[in-house]
A and B are shown apart, each in its own frame.
Chain A
Amino acid sequence: MTTADTPQGGALSRIGSAGAMQKMLAFGSLVLLLVGFSLASPQFMQVSNIIAILQATSVNGVLAVAVTLVIITGGIDLSVGTMMTFCAVISGVVLTYWGLPLPFGVLAAIGAGAFCGLCSGTFVAKLKIPPFIATLGMMLILKGLALVISGTRPIYFNDTPGFDLISRGSLIGWVFPSLPIPNGVLILFLVALLVAYILGRTVLGRYTFALGSNEEAVRLSGVNVDAWKIGIYALSGAIVGVAGILIASRLNSAQPALGLGYELEAIAAVVIGGTSLSGGRGTVLGTVIGALIMAVLTNGLRILSVAQEWQTVVTGAIIILAVYADQARRRKG
């Protein structure tokens, strides 16, 4: 039908699209933070410190990427922190208790995560339990199970040679000795790339956005909404399994009491990165930038010897600021 067409064509609308704008905003703030801290302290820009920041980003970054998937569907996942610990404990059981070789430990952690995600997804999609409640329940269940399985004691990986290298070794540094970037960061990079690809280029990714945008419309289009939703939660869980391996490797142990609180940091990174909590919009790149902002902030404030308590306050304020900036821009637009 010929209707007077306003020039709201592809390229323009894409640049102006909400996600891209917020990403720019987040990226700008990151650069600002980096410049600010390096001016404030000469220690900040030292290679060892940058590597520390990247290392700190890796676990939270992988978790945040996992949560991004769920949040884009319009859901939320409160269980990723304890799920990560649960996966770490499972790999501890497989490697240390059963003495199986390293790849089995990694696969067990990822499999355990995928299974947990499958459960959450089933609760949400089939039993129609709101994601907040379903994953709150999962959070407690997994916290408890991690303690039960480990007998409330840490499981050490001293008998598995090379386990700590998964996170702390540096494949890149081995090839380019001047760039000792830890493997944890490399893994975050690969996970982010994979998920970005899935979101942008595959059917699963398409339905992730579609579900968050208008679930009823997807259902009316004849799509098996429940199955896809469970799939998305399972994928998210598998990524949490990767985070479980990363943290266990970094500590060279599975700490069953750890984990609570990580989910909130992950959600914060997602939000700072411009993903809408009401679903339908979001990017992996934004989430990674969000995770970086949080790590830079914590690190920089510590270098400036700001007390731990105040670091927490600042982080909270940043979250509110980030979301406000997003809202203000959208109201204008």
Chain B
Amino acid sequence: MSVTPLISMRNIDKRFPGVHALKGVSFELLPGEVHALMGENGAGKSTLMKILSGIYPRDGGEILVGGTPAEIDSPRAAQSHGLAIIHQELALMNDLTVAQNIFIGREPRLSFGRLDEKALNRNARDIFAKLNLHLDPKTQVGTLTIARQQLVEIAKALSFKSRVLVMDEPTAALNDREIDELFIIIRQLKAEGVGIVYISHKMDELKRIADRVTVMRDGATVGTVSAADTPVSEIIRMMVGRELGAETVDIPDLAAAPPLLEVRGLTRGRAVRDVSFSVRQGEILGFAGLMGAGRTEVARAIFGADRKNGGEILVHGKALTIRSPADAVAAGIGYLSEDRKHFGLALGMDVKDNVALATMTDFVSRVGAINDARMRATARTFIDRLRIRTPSERQEVRFLSGGNQQKVVIAKWLLRNCDILIFDEPTRGIDVGAKSEIYRLLTDLAAEGRAIIVISSELPEVLRLSHRIAVMCEGRLTGILPGGPGTTQEDIMDLATRRAPAMEPAFPPPPTPETRAPR
């Protein structure tokens, strides 16, 4: 090849205690290319990029930047080589403003270490203008939604005028429109000759944005192929080492099944307005809608995590007062939060403790001591069943890859054996292989006679899983569609964008109840 690669990583080796994370991985990035890095959870993608950006030292191999060997031993060194990375886990300072976050470490200065706040905000505004992003530089980052925080991260990385930009699952928390806009920016950067490493578990994004794809498995490179000429099924085969059948939802006849959970007129401020639905025993009810439609708020209100302003919740036909998550769990309701870092995991504890966290009392022996052996055995069953990639059940959860952390949360609630399970974005950041396992798991759980609610922003996932599909828009339930091949993504989007006619932020919603039927 005639062009010098921006980056060549050769035979990179990396060991963590108990894990050989990278086994002689090679990777190359050309100017102006979008190079997708794919692989299952724990394959080593983030680790490889952390070595490139100076966060982890490498144990072997070499890195060439622009054809010359480079020693990248700190984030600062990476910056000076023109490398910027957007981390998988957001790394922002919530108490600082957007502009302060973007320029942390290189704020414009006056004499005596004084800050030039005006220039800071002006520079931030310039970047936003270039990205066509409407954001006040003085907004505190902690008050932004996750999606907008992600945009701040992207703006920050771009502000370095880097030649190489690494994006580790940038779209995990973005909605379709935001993804489109991100892709416009990526194409713009590409045209300027920036090389982009793009990590994602969303297969459809490959064809849209990537030029080449490098697939990793178990810490080694499987191969690099052209994105346009390689069918997705081939890439999946490279990733998981086997074919995945295209399964469709199989809807059971639930006419005779009693409703396990009924929600009537649930209301919470503006976020949830008069939402009513029911889930039968053995049923999977999907919840679709745009980001911010109020699906998570519905789940949290049912679960007692947020106070509700009105509405009734019936479990097994009996009205219950649920004031706290403890009440909900006692009533047999489990909730798997979309934000696992904050609400789902004790990061400093090991896998077995996390799996047992919601059922700790089941592992207490008669004398009051915790039966560690049984706990470990249970944890091992789940590690096998969900294929959690971890050296052992004693590994601290914070050392697991993002997707494997998610599986640990799922294991926790599976063990808890709740009748009613609410999964909020259960496959966010999870690879295709594990995704289809989780689909199978959810289907099995329903078949065992539980009621399952799945909140998902990915329409194919909603369609693949749901027996019925509830669609929300701006806090209201705009319709419930039947599952199965008869329903299309367009049907869902139509309901998801059906805003109340006189919806003005300053006025209360009109009193007319919405129709709850497909068009």
Contact = CB atoms under 8 A, between A and B. Distances in A.
B94 interface: yes
Interface band, chain A? 20 to 34
A220 B105 CA distance: 10
B139 A10 contact: yes
Given A2-B134, A8-B139, A210 B93 contact: yes
A280 B87 CA distance: 21
Contacts of A221: 75, 91, 104-105
Given A201-B115, A218-B104, A222-B76, A1 B182 contact: yes
Given A1-B178, A8-B143, A203 B93 contact: no
Contact of B91 (A2, A9, A214): A214
B209 interface: no
B117 A214 contact: no
| Residue of A9, A202, A222, A281 ringed by the most chain B CB atoms within 10 A | A222
A219 interface: yes
Interface stretch (B106-114, B356-364, B424-432, B463-471): B106-114
A232 B170 CA distance: 34
B59 interface: no
A216 B91 contact: yes
Given A213-B96, A220-B75, A281-B95, A203 B139 contact: no
B94 A3 contact: no
Contact of A203 (B75, B87, B115, B181): B115
Given A206-B115, A221-B104, A222-B79, A3 B134 contact: yes
A302 interface: no
Contact of A204 (B100, B113, B151): B113
Nearest to B138: A10
Nearest to A210: B93
A308 interface: no
Contacts of B140: 13, 17
B96 A209 contact: yes
Contacts of A14: 138
A204 to B, nearest CB: 6
A8 B306 CA distance: 22
Given A8-B136, A212-B95, A214-B92, A3 B104 contact: no
Contacts of A213: 93-96
A1 B132 contact: yes
Contacts of B516: none
A9 B55 contact: no
Interface in A196-239: 201-206, 209-210, 212-214, 216-224
B92 A217 contact: yes
Interface in B51-88: 55, 74-76, 78-79, 87
Contacts of A309: none
Contacts of A159: none
A203 B143 CA distance: 23
A9 B134 CA distance: 11
Given A1-B181, A10-B139, A13-B138, A203 B95 contact: no
A206 B93 CA distance: 11
B222 interface: no
Q: Is the interface of A mostly helix, strand, loop or mixed?
A: helix
Given A3-B178, A203-B113, A280-B94, A222 B105 contact: yes
A224 B79 CA distance: 13
Given A203-B107, A219-B75, A220-B55, A214 B113 contact: no
Contacts of B251: none
A311 B296 CA distance: 48
Contacts of A281: 95
Nearest to A222: B76
Contacts of B134: 1-3, 5
Given A13-B143, A221-B75, A222-B79, A206 B100 contact: yes
B172 interface: no
A201 B117 contact: yes
Given A2-B181, A203-B115, A223 B93 contact: no
A13 B143 CA distance: 9
A217 B93 contact: yes
Contacts of A217: 91-93, 104
Contacts of A223: 76, 104-105
A14 B132 CA distance: 24
B93 to A, nearest CB: 4
Contacts of A5: 134-135
Interface string B253-281: 00000000000000000000000000000
B96 A210 contact: yes
Contacts of B115: 201-203, 205-206
A2 B135 CA distance: 9
A320 to B, nearest CB: 23
Interface in A1-49: 1-3, 5, 8-10, 13-14, 17
Interface string B123-154: 00000000111111111100100011001000
B318 interface: no
Contacts of B178: 1, 3
Interface in A43-99: none
18 contacts: A1-B134, A1-B151, A2-B134, A8-B136, A10-B136, A10-B139, A13-B139, A202-B112, A203-B109, A204-B113, A205-B115, A213-B93, A218-B104, A222-B75, A222-B76, A222-B78, A280-B93, A281-B95
Interface of A: 1-3, 5, 8-10, 13-14, 17, 201-206, 209-210, 212-214, 216-224, 280-281
Given A206-B107, A214-B94, 15 more contacts: A1-B131, A1-B133, A1-B134, A1-B151, A10-B136, A10-B138, A13-B140, A14-B138, A201-B117, A209-B95, A213-B93, A214-B93, A218-B104, A220-B87, A223-B104
Which 8 A-B pairs give the minimum distances between C-beta atoms? Answer: A10-B138, A213-B93, A280-B95, A222-B76, A1-B181, A217-B91, A213-B95, A223-B105
